[in-house]
Structure 1
């Protein structure tokens, strides 16, 4: 679905200059936000790594992200995890989100530069609100599971095998029609994502911007469900895992033939799951 620009696609010279300035400002702010979030993510992961990990039965180590350090309160631990989660998600998802936000700006049509910037920011906040809610749900589940693993050695010994099975399942999810449907929604035009009829331009209002950000965030979280599970079980603050998952998400979202790329990613994830299961069985 295409949206025509103001004046049927014919811009006056002044408008063309203003559009170029707007484009440069948008991408400059996006690049700065990515650089800051990436730096904070690296710093947080390094700090978490310095805290050390707890050796567990079964030959694996538990991340400090799920544990309360001496002198910490659980609200402080939760706030720290959520802060790191949000920053990490901005760094991981922004490269694939920026093109979608730019398409939203183009679809909005005539709007003042200040208002367009505000609407774009609102759409982005709506998108990351979904990921923040996901982090808020993941933390108590992770803490509860970690507590059970520390109290039940038999459960802890089963973790390496369970991780392999989860990774294998995440890879298999990449081949499903469910994955393909949500990936198509993530790559769709803003109007199609919002299920609006074909219009010359999207409404330039806060409700539409917020709704677009939320819908895109929901489709993205569904689309990335398998890869997010890989991140959570393989190393939520492991920079290597983060880099691989980020690359996989970006490629399947932006490269031509997204569904084909998702299947290629699936082959790699399935292979990793098989290796993890074989290793767990060998250690067992």
Structure 2
């Protein structure tokens, strides 16, 4: 039998390698995308080319490229908070061999990221539609800086809601301590999907901030990743979420004031 210490080291070691690979892919993808500086727009902001079709591209190709980028991003951003949860699942599904437990944990992870992939598809459709509208309507484009501040403000307010607290608590306690789960593929799949749904709801505001500020802004990604990880893993996560919400609300007010100010 493989000792729990050895199993733990192997599990977290593989997770660390996957995290490093996803970060590397995200950075390379960010550097290699054409015209990543974006397009200057009325109102003094810059539109990300992630929402635009370049010369010679088809919309299915653009969508596939975005989803590939989104998948690498989500793995890099969510793994730090997901890995401890998958380890708890692995312990709750104990009784099977090490290889089978590893496969079940991986299957749960696939279900989790499938939810995020669905969210990415919806985000691309909405982002591409908004980008097209902003290209055709200069008045709408000029309103984007204020709208971005409003999105950040609303996302900060969301941190104080019972809805946020409920989904965050589900993420933090999933699966419950001392619980036992059947070591089968169907349970692993359902576990990953449920966790992905709770997580995407708990992270809705933070994800909206990332999309509004810049989906491929590496600094924004790093801040959102740190925020999600602290909320999920730190003691008193609900208090942490509210403290973060206070910072986000002030940031939103500042963005609105800047956008609405003279000049």
Question: Aligned partners of 1:19, 1:80: CA distance in 2, in Å?
Answer: 40
Corresponding residue of 1:64? 49
Change (3 A) 1:217 1:73: same
Are 2:79 and 1:94 aligned? yes
Which of residues 276, 281, 284 is equivalent to 2:255? 276
Larger Rg over CA atoms: 1
Contact map agreement 2:94 2:101 (CA 8 A) in 1: no
Q: Following TM superposition, by how much is the alpha carbon of 1:48 offset from its aligned partner in structure 2, in angstroms?
A: 3.3
Q: Following TM superposition, by how much is the alpha carbon of 1:268 offset from its aligned partner in structure 2, in angstroms?
A: 1.2
Corresponding residue of 1:130? 115
Corresponding residue of 2:200? 221
Report which stretch shifted further, 109-118 or 91-100: 109-118
Q: Following TM superposition, by how much is the alpha carbon of 1:18 offset from its aligned partner in structure 2, in angstroms?
A: 2.6
Can you list the C-alpha shifts for 1:9-33, whole angstroms capped at 9, x where unaligned?
A: xxxxxx4x53222111111110000
Corresponding residue of 1:173? 158
Q: Following TM superposition, by how much is the alpha carbon of 1:49 offset from its aligned partner in structure 2, in angstroms?
A: 7.0
> What SS does the aligned partner of 1:61 have?
strand
Contact map agreement 2:38 2:46 (CA 8 A) in 1: yes
Can you list the C-alpha shifts for 1:126-156, whole angstroms capped at 9, x where unaligned?
A: 0000000000111111101000000000000
Question: Aligned partners of 1:189, 1:70: CA distance in 2, in Å?
Answer: 46
Matched positions, count: 263
Question: Aligned partners of 1:241, 1:180: CA distance in 2, in Å?
Answer: 23
Question: Aligned partners of 2:171, 2:5: CA distance in 1, in Å?
Answer: 26
Question: Aligned partners of 2:34, 2:45: CA distance in 1, in Å?
Answer: 15
Can you list the C-alpha shifts for 1:240-260, whole angstroms capped at 9, x where unaligned?
A: 111111111000100011001
Corresponding residue of 1:121? 106
Contact map agreement 2:35 2:49 (CA 8 A) in 1: no
Give me the TM-score of the superposition, normalised by structure 1: 0.90
Question: Aligned partners of 1:271, 1:47: CA distance in 2, in Å?
Answer: 34
Question: Aligned partners of 2:50, 2:123: CA distance in 1, in Å?
Answer: 11
Question: Aligned partners of 1:52, 1:119: CA distance in 2, in Å?
Answer: 41
Can you list the C-alpha shifts for 1:182-224, whole angstroms capped at 9, x where unaligned?
A: 00000014158xxxxx75x210000110000000000000000
Are 2:181 and 1:202 aligned? yes
Give unmatched runs, 5+ long, in structure 1: 1-14, 193-197
RMSD: 1.4
Give me the TM-score of the superposition, normalised by structure 2: 0.97
Report which stretch shifted further, 182-191 or 99-108: 182-191
Contact map agreement 1:48 1:237 (CA 8 A) in 2: no
Are 2:86 and 1:107 aligned? no
* Structure 1 consecutive aligned stretches of length 4 or more whose deviation exceeds 3 Å: 48-51
Contact map agreement 1:82 1:132 (CA 8 A) in 2: yes
Question: Aligned partners of 1:49, 1:282: CA distance in 2, in Å?
Answer: 33
Contact map agreement 2:43 2:145 (CA 8 A) in 1: yes
Which of residues 238, 254, 263 is equivalent to 2:242? 263
